[in-house]
Structure 1
Amino acid sequence: MLNFEELKSFLNEKADQYNSPDFIEDDPIQIPHHFTLKQDIEIAGFLTATISWGNRKSIIRSADKMLDIMGNSPYDFVLNYSEKDLEILHDKSIHRTFNGQDFAYFIRQFNKIYKENQSLENLFLVKDQEADFQHAIERFRSSFLGSEKHRSHKHVSSPYKNSSSKRIIMFLRWMVRKDKRGVDFGIWENINQKNLSIPLDVHTGNISRKLGLVSRTQNDWKTVEELDTAIRKFDENDPAKYDFALFGLGVTKELL
């Protein structure tokens, strides 16, 4: 087992290696990179993150399909769609269990949000005493999903129900993290990247256990918090950069 300084040095080296424009080519983050308008980036990013489970190539294909439907102008489509546009979606297959009904529901919810907010950032603001996004995600869920029950609610996971909320955490990294590498967007000015966590999935969870960063066996919110505690010791101001290290190590199977 590596000691603290060795592990820090190893993870810094791997984060540095994978946090480069080459990363974009095979990753779903390429989808919001098609855009320059902030709201287009947010909508494309959120929809892509929402369907980010399974094979990365198939995620990218499905995200492209959604953007095609929106005429590759997501913000304009969200503000100006007709009911007929959404009715046509209902029988469409989008990505696994995320179907045309879910897509139509998300578009309606985006419309409500953007009528009252310039940016989705307003819904994810972290309060002073909060160390992570647990409560901010729940506040977002309340605003975005509303009180009426709908099948689409399952696609926006809840840390209060001990979900790792991997897809939202990944979306937050894309929007919040600021560096000059060109991968993450860093377009949200009012949220500090020190509050970011690492998106926890099978790959990052397994690598974190191999490296002794977490001891819990489930990939749930409690493990997200355990991983936060470990990685923030390496860099308290930019903990989410280690997502590149853990993800890269998982994909290349370098530690297996």
Structure 2
Amino acid sequence: MTFEALAKRLNEEAHKRNHADEISVDRPDPLLIASRHNDEFIALICALFAYGNVSSIIQFLESLDFSLLDADESNIEQALESHYYRFQNAHDIQALFITLSRFKKEIGSLESVFLPAYQKRSHVMDGLRALIAMLYDINPYRSRGYQFLLGTIPQANPHSPYKRWHMYLRWMVRKDHLDLGLWHDVDTKDLLIPLDTHTFALGKKLGLIQRKSYDFKAVLELSQALQKIDPSDPVKYDFALYRLGQEKILL
């Protein structure tokens, strides 16, 4: 397939899948829960737990009482004492809600921490570095499960694809029939692809990724390839690529 033909097909797929019915109980995605609440803190919880079987993710997210983000910490601990999800036990989930509750009360918004760091060089990784560092600063709790959830603070040459964080940024920054568009001062051209196993495999099959390793360099490679199709909004193809890979549809 020529690059022009591939670009045409990806634009068609992105357009076709840009409607509310693409995400439903029958076609689940963590964005289904995030879109119900339209809140940057709740959306972050949905994004951070977006790993594993999608049905299990949705079932877990449905079990959470997001109003706890405005509750006292003792109430948070009591309400979540029996919750767990894969690598996270009840203490980890309690800690995440407490961290976000403190952040909400003491700082106000996640965007307010991300934005100044991002705007210095228009690099989303700078914004993520500031935001993840602040989340760790605001709560001294540490465990393997909790740190898996938040991820490491990005360094100059990260290895991790930061898939869940880039998905969160896609939700927050882009605005269409799928993404929420709650943040208004981040340019869509600066977003990076939320690389998962489906998009990685399909990206390689389509010749958009040459790299053999599923890592941050592969994220940059695919993002730069998609920028050649749409320099202003390369990540608009993310959901279409994800669905095509998930459904094993060959382009």
Q: TM-score surpassing 0.5?
A: yes
Q: Gaps spanning 5+ residues in structure 2: where? A: none
For these two proteins, the number of residue pairs brought into alignment is 240
Q: Does the alignment pair 1:24 with 2:18?
A: no
What is the TM-score when the length of structure 1 is the normalising length?
Answer: 0.87
Aligned equivalents of 2:237, 2:110: Cα separation in 1: 25
CA distance in 2, matches of 1:35, 1:156: 21
2:84 is paired with a residue whose SS is strand
CA gap of 1:53–1:124, structure 2 versus 1, over 3 A, is same
Q: Given that residues 173 and 240 in structure 1 are in contact (C-alpha distance below 8 angstroms), is that contact kept between their aligned partners in structure 2?
A: yes
Find the aligned partners of 1:7 and 1:154 in 2 and give their Cα distance: 36
State the shift of 1:150 in Å.
Answer: 0.4
Gaps of 5+ in 1: none
2:9 maps to a residue whose letter is F
**Equivalent residue number for residue 6 of structure 2:** 7
Output one character per residue of 1:5-29: Cα deviation in whole Å (capped at 9) or x when no partner: 1111011111112221112212110
Alpha-carbon distance in structure 2 between the residues aligned to 1:141 and 1:127? 16
2:227 paired with 1:232: yes
Paired AA for residue 112 in structure 1: R
Deviation sequence 1:128-185 (CA, Å, 0-9, x none): 423x422211111110111846011221224434110101111111111023xx2111
Aligned equivalent of 1:173, options 164, 170, 178 = 170
Tell me by how many angstroms 1:196 deviates.
1.1
Of structures 1 and 2, the one with the larger relative CO (CA 8 A, separation 6+) is 1
TM-score for the superposition, normalised by structure 2: 0.89
2:79 paired with 1:85: no
Please give the alpha-carbon distance, in whole angstroms, between the structure 1 residues aligned to 2:216 and 2:151: 11
- Which residue does 2:113 correspond to in 1? 123
Instruction: State the identity %.
Output: 34
User: For the residues of structure 1 that align with 2:22 and 2:109, how far apart are their CA atoms?
Assistant: 26
Contact kept? 1:145, 1:153, Cα under 8 Å? no
Shift in Å, 1:239: 1.0
Amino acid at match of 1:14: E
Measured in 1, the distance between the counterparts of 2:208 and 2:76 equals 48
- Counterpart code for 2:70: L
Q: Flag the 1:225–1:104 CA change in 2: closer, same or farther, 3 A.
A: same
Contact 1:14 1:248 (8 Å CA) reproduced: no
Partner in structure 1 of residue 190 of structure 2: 195
